[in-house]
């Protein structure tokens, strides 16, 4: 099974989640600035909402996918806003890439919110979720 992992992380929280998922499934987490260069059965996209949307770099990454992707799975962190599906669903649909119904979310530290998150338990949960998805 070919697994690709891409992340966008301003503060480092989402990168921690991406790295935990990558270790769990034997893949490498790379920033969204690195396009997919080969087909993937599963694409884990790890990001966070910023100003009630995803960053334009994430949108550009999705729009630039030029290889076959069997399905995409979302991982996200945030201090307040919940999962990111509504911000990327249409973009994936336009590329013909189905989104897994289930996605991973955990709180992320920002200012005084969610101090210490993601913590070791969150990282373990992300790893477990990635393993579950990949079977």
Is 77 inside a domain boundary?
yes
Is 80 inside a domain boundary?
yes
Q: Nearest-CA neighbor of 68 among 4, 8, 131?
A: 4
What is the Cα 32 distance to its own chain's centre? 10
pTM of the model: 0.90
Residue 65: which domain range? 3-129
Is 81 inside a domain boundary?
yes
pLDDT 10s digits, 85-102: 888 999 999 999 999 999
Is there a contact between 90 and 123 (Cβ–Cβ < 8 Å)? no
pLDDT above 80: residue 10? yes
Kindly report the CATH number assigned to the domain that includes residue 17.
3.40.50.360
Q: Nearest-CA neighbor of 88 among 126, 31, 98, 13?
A: 98
Query: What are the φ and ψ backbone dihedral angles of 55, each rounded to 5 degrees?
Result: -60, 150
| pLDDT more than 90, % of the chain | 72
3-state secondary structure 71-113: EEEEEEEECCCCCCHHHHHHHHHHCCCCECCCCEEEECCECCE
Q: Please, which pLDDT band fits residue 116 given cuts at 50, 70 and 90?
A: low
Residue 82 CA to residue 60 CA, distance in Å, equals 22
Cis peptide before 118 (omega within 30 of 0): yes
Is 135 inside a domain boundary?
no
Total tally of structural domains belonging to the chain: 1
């Amino acid at each position: 099974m070919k697994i690709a992992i891409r992340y966008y992380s301003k503060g480092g929280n989402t990168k921690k989640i991406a790295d935990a998922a990558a270790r769990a499934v034997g893949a490498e987490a790379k920033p969204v600035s690195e396009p997919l260069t080969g087909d993937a059965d599963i694409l884990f996209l790890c990001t966070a909402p910023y100003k009630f949307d995803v960053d334009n770099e994430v949108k550009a990454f999705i729009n630039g996918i030029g290889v076959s992707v069997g399905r995409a799975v979302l991982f996200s962190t945030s201090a307040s806003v919940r999962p990111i599906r509504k911000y990327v669903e249409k973009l994936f649909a336009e590329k013909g890439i189905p989104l897994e119904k289930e996605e991973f979310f955990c709180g992320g530290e920002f200012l005084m919110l969610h101090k210490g998150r993601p913590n070791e338990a969150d990282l373990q949960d992300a790893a477990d979720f990635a393993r579950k998805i990949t079977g």
